[in-house]
Amino acid sequence: MLLFPAAAVLLFLCFVLAHYDRQTGFTRFIYFGDHFASRRLPEVTHAHPFVFQDSDGYDGQFYAQIAVSPLLSDPGLNTALDSPAYRSRRIGLPWFAWLAGLGHTPWVLQAYALANVLAWLALAALLLHWIPPANATARLAWLGCLFGIGVMMSVERALTDVPAALCVATAIFLAERGRGIGAAVSFALALLTRDISVLAGGLLLPANRNGRAWLYAALLGVAALVPLALWSLHVRLRFPGVPSADPTNFALPFTAMFGTIATAWDSIPSRGWPGFVFQLLSTIGLCAQFLFLVFSSRRLWRERWWRVGAVFAVLFALLGPAVWEDYAAAARAVIPMTLAFNILLPRDQKWSFPLCALGNLPLLHGLDYLISPIWMRLP
């Protein structure tokens, strides 16, 4: 029964090895762009990470530099980060990299580059608890959790989404076993890794209506928020002012999604059909996940995974044009919704496999990442 997941993990590790470079190690994952070279921390430049030419790079390059100075004490961070107050709140992954790299900058960068890989492997193992590969539907659901376009984008660009999703999944695993304190600690780590994880707070609530149990869960939730609150205060003192989050991250329900599809349709003459087809199929799959969670509310509302998935389904509906500018970014923003869909989907009904296939259409573009990683397509 484990032969299938073992083969999938081996395929993933081949994808990881394709990013290795003899001179720069695995730092290709971090996606440093040469357009930010003049603003980069000197010690990062001296570590000689892989740098993409004629490129802005991607968000991972900012979190990796925070990892070099996780207390935010380096004055160079003021210019090295595109949005210091916003990026610095997500300190969980940088602190992990700093600890794993023993504070030595070249090692820290390698640790940061591989953090998503380690999180992916841990999540793959943990998901076997909820989705044992007993039949074709279960195997497809497990693959859909791990190889969808959102997850693959987080791994390939060393982002915070997969590590945060792992922390949320671990918190649910512990909460289901009555280990409230462990669940709260894992939830706190999710908040420090990606603050939008606060939407998963319902995982701490019990299924019953016992007042004492709800009070205990509420206290655990408050305790989990304390580290993020204290760190946010530190960030505010270090980088005064309001974090410059893009106001177009949110919009009226589904307006940005439909607008992006219309734009993609108009750009077919210049971009070609494959990009539009991938975008359309992935969007349909995400909508199927959304609808499943909506229509299963009466049956599944007591399930912790449903509570988490449903709130991220609401987030999916409200995502704005800044997120939908790259539909893969929209997919990674709602990874918990994808996990909830695949974990809660019945796997023994006649309609299970077709619905599973429909909801996991983002897997098609994710597998395309495996076959031909983004960096190989750059000029």
pLDDT in tens, 12-60: 999 999 999 999 999 999 999 999 999 999 999 999 999 999 999 999 9
Is the model's pLDDT at 242 over the cut of 70?
Answer: no
Is the model's pLDDT at 379 over the cut of 60?
Answer: no
Q: Which of 323, 173, 314, 196 is nearest to 256 (CA)?
A: 323
3-state secondary structure of 52: strand
- pLDDT at 376 (0 to 100): 66
Give the pair of three-digit tokens for residue 32.
């440093």
Is the model's pLDDT at 323 over the cut of 60?
Answer: yes
Residue 163's H or E segment, with its range, is helix 161-176
The predicted model scores a pTM of 0.96
pLDDT in tens, 158-172: 999 999 999 999 999
Is the model's pLDDT at 241 over the cut of 80?
Answer: no
- Domain ranges across the chain: 26-377
**Rounded average pLDDT over 339-360:** 96
Burial class (CB in 10 A: 0-12, 13-18, 19+), 211: exposed
Question: When comparing pLDDT for 379 and 3, which is higher?
Answer: 3
How many CB atoms are closer than 10 A to CB 160? 28
**Rounded average pLDDT over 305-318:** 97
Is the model's pLDDT at 247 over the cut of 60?
Answer: yes
Is the model's pLDDT at 367 over the cut of 90?
Answer: no
The percentage of the chain sitting over the pLDDT mark of 70, rounded to a whole number, equals: 97
Is the model's pLDDT at 173 over the cut of 80?
Answer: yes
Question: If you write DSSP's letter for every residue of 277-323 in order, what string do you get?
Answer: HHHHHHHHHHHHHHHHHHHTHHHHTTSHHHHHHHHHHHHHHHB-HHH
